[in-house]
Amino acid sequence: MSKLTQEDFHYIKADLKHGRIAPGTIRDGLSVFLLVSGAFVGIAYAVVTASNTVIGWKNLSNFWQTVFKIEAILFILQLILIIFVKGRSNWSQMVLNVSYVIYAYKMALDPFVTLSMFAINDEVYEIYVAMVLIVIIVGFIIHIYLIRRYFQRLKEEQADKNNGKRNRKGTVSFLIWPILFLLASITGFIIRNQLLGDTENLFILGACTVVFIGMMIGTIEFVIGAYCVIRFPSFRVNPPTEDNHQ
CA 59 to chain centre: 30
The model's pTM is 0.87
Cα four-point dihedral sign 61, 135, 211, 187: negative
**CA nearest neighbour of 95 among 76, 77, 116, 122:** 77
Low-confidence winner among 67-76, 109-118, 119-128, 158-167 (lowest mean pLDDT)? 158-167
Report whether pLDDT(211) > 50.
yes
pLDDT of residue 246: 41
Low-confidence winner among 77-81, 116-120, 182-186 (lowest mean pLDDT)? 182-186
Q: Give Cβ neighbours of residue 234 (< 8 Å, ≥ 6 apart).
A: 6, 13, 240
pLDDT band, very low/low/confident/very high, at 120 (cuts 50, 70, 90): very high
pLDDT of residue 165: 53
pLDDT in tens, 143-177: 999 999 888 888 877 766 666 555 555 555 566 76
pLDDT band, very low/low/confident/very high, at 198 (cuts 50, 70, 90): confident
Q: Specify the higher pLDDT residue, 45 or 17.
A: 45
Rounded mean pLDDT of 47-63? 88
Distance (Å) of CA 139 to CA 187, 214, 234:
17, 9, 33
Q: How far apart are CA 18 and CA 5, in angstroms?
A: 21
What is the percent of the chain with per-residue pLDDT over 70, rounded to a whole number? Answer: 87
pLDDT in tens, 15-37: 898 888 999 999 999 999 999 99
pLDDT band, very low/low/confident/very high, at 2 (cuts 50, 70, 90): low
